[in-house]
Structure 1
Amino acid sequence: MSDRSHTLGEANIESFATHTAYFCCPAWGVREWRSFDQISLPISDLGFRQGVTAVERLRTYGGMVFCAEQHLLRLRETLRLLKIENGPSTGQLEGLIEECLKLNAELVRQVDVGMTIWVTAGSSKFDPTWAVHLNAIDHEAVAIRQMHGQPIVITSVVQPPMESWPRQAKVRNRLHYYLADLEAKQVDPDATGMLLDLDGSVTESSVANVAIVREGRLVVPPEKKC
């Protein structure tokens, strides 16, 4: 394992808690870079009250953000599907991604990191609340999964149907994943839960999509179910 993929020590964990992040909260008149531990939501924000939050999670490899353009395109589509208007532009986010890496250069040099962009529907009469920040990656857990696989349990929890919200939307409403993982851990403490579709077919887990290798070929779910 490379030096960039080592397990985070106590100093690095503290660095993530206090790294520099961008936060925009029109309800509070805030648009600034600030310490990550100073980011919070108004109780009236729809991201808190109803879970109306679009999200994209990126990561770095060798200090460079992977597939940023594709992530930002998907975020724009999620905002469109959720009808969240007046959020950050793609160009603005591109600049903030670069600036976030520069402001946290010492941390990014030590280890590859995750980066999260989230946008809520905001508080009543105010534009969306949103942020750009880093998050730690558990490189040790990733390495274990790569070497030994990930235990899974097919649970009784059903994925919200397309009629509830489009599955193309990347959102922060994760109650179904939470319940599936709780059920899975009753069987195996290390397992992640697999969700079902209304027809009983397997869809995904809280951390990954599903694919099967069958007779040397990769089998994935039909596009209409993705």
Structure 2
Amino acid sequence: MGEELYYHVDGNLVPASEATVSVDDRGFRYGDAAFETLRAYGGTVFAWDAHLERLERTCESLSLEHGLTAADLRSRIDETLAANGLADAYVRLSITRGVQPGKLTPQPDVEPTVVVYVKPLPRGGLAGEPVWDEPATVETVETRRVPDEAIPAAAKTHNYLNGILARAELGADVDEALMCDLEGHIAEGATSNLWFVRDGEIYTPTTDGPVLPGITRQIVLDLARDAGLTVHEGLYELVAVRDADEAFLTNRTWELRPVATLDGCEIGGGPVTERLSRRYDERVERTCYE
């Protein structure tokens, strides 16, 4: 799409080149903000209720009482998609604590900054195509996942330093960094949840550790169990993934992306990954396109 996109900033649709927030905004100063990454398929925001629920949990973790209704937030997303003529799109919704006096302690009175930005994506579902060109190359990194006791793993905030440091370790052609917790157990990718398959059974790190409870992760869990597949959530060593029959990553944009290699060891997708990808596409098709 050649025309400039429109973003939604504090209740106004503005050209992307004019979309700005104050340098005194706490989202800029401290990463003091909550966000959600969503996908629109055929004009429908997929799994909106689940995203809204997680957004509210993040705001509770931040003690950020923004005072906005679900209907208000959704209308800003819908207006942004309509203004750009987009039915299939990446959508990011951010809520910061706004501008407050220049000190670290947050104040209870909040005038939040709310930003929605979008970009076009391919059609999803059964007639769609993935946003990625190839299965992912993955490397483990020295950067460890921040313990849940320090920063709640379930809080999806603008503070992405942990993931940035992990990605900064990667080689030029590597797609994702795989982080461990402080005890050396596999946790998650910088922006994705990890899965692997052995003897037809599925394994994924537990969210009892420092692992973001991804919306796509939960959908895949439900799809796998509905299909009668055995799913394990636990603590796993790196060798278990390297020796797996299949491995894949999930996030909202990638959906399910097979892991081609981990630290140079070939893994790849397979029948379980393909079956779950098909069921995911069927869910999107039924929910958003039919």
TM-score using structure 1 length: 0.79
Shift of 1:37: 2.2
Give CA-to-partner distance per residue, 1:115-147, whole Å, 9 cap, x none: 1100111111651111122134489883423xx
CA distance in 1, matches of 2:12, 2:42: 27
Q: Which residue of 2 aligns with 1:68?
A: 48
Tell me which residue corresponds to 2:80.
100
Give SS of 1:47's match. Answer: helix
In structure 2, C-alpha distance between the alignment counterparts of 1:191 and 1:72, rounded to whole Å: 28
**Quick check: 1:210 aligned with 2:187?**
no
Contact 1:53 1:119 in 2 (8 A): yes
Q: For residue 21 of structure 1, what is the aligned residue in structure 2? A: 7
- What does the per-residue CA deviation read over 1:55-84, in whole Å, with 9 as the maximum and x for residues that have no partner? 101112233221111111111111111111
1:86 aligned counterpart, secondary structure: coil
Match for residue 192 of structure 1 among 161, 169, 176: 176
Supply the distance in 1 between the matched residues of 2:132 and 2:24 (Cα, whole angstroms): 40
Find the aligned partners of 1:207 and 1:224 in 2 and give their Cα distance.
18
Q: Which moved more, 1:85-94 or 1:162-171?
A: 85-94
- Amino acid of the structure 1 residue aligned with 2:65: E
Counterparts in 2 of 1:154 and 1:170: CA distance versus 1, 3 Å: same
User: For the residues of structure 1 that align with 2:122 and 2:191, how far apart are their CA atoms?
Assistant: 13
Superposition pairs for residues 57-206 of structure 1, below 5 Å?
57-105=37-85, 108-109=86-87, 112-124=88-100, 127-137=111-121, 142-145=131-134, 149-185=135-171, 189-206=173-190
- Measured after TM superposition, the shift of residue 101 of structure 1 is 2.3
Q: Could you tell me how far apart the structure 2 residues matched to 1:98 and 1:54 are?
A: 19
Please say if residues 188 and 205 of structure 2, whose CA atoms lie closer than 8 Å, have aligned partners that are also in contact: no
- Cα distance between partner residues in 2 of 1:87 and 1:116: 19
CA contact (8 A) 2:34 2:59 kept: yes
Do the aligned residues in 1 keep the contact of 2:66 with 2:97 (CA within 8 Å)? no
Equivalent-residue separation in structure 2 for 1:176 and 1:136 (angstroms): 28
Aligned-residue RMSD, C-alpha:
2.1
Counterparts of 2:61 and 2:137 in 1: how far apart (Å)?
33
Structure 1 residues 174 and 132: CA distance shift in structure 2, 3 A: same
How many pairs align? 197
Report the 3-state secondary structure (helix = DSSP H, G, I; strand = E; otherwise coil) of the residue aligned with 1:159.
Answer: coil
Cα distance, 1:156–1:210 mapped onto 2, change above 3 Å: same
TM-score by length of 2: 0.63
Gap change, CA 1:48 and 1:33, over 3 Å in 2:
same
Q: What SS does the corresponding residue of 1:200 show, helix, strand or coil? A: coil
Q: Which has the bigger relative contact order, CA under 8 A and spacing at least 6?
A: 1
Q: Where does structure 2 lack aligned partners over 5 or more consecutive residues?
A: 102-109, 124-128, 212-290
Pair 142,86 (structure 1): closer, same or farther in 2 beyond 3 Å: closer
Amino acid at match of 2:131: V
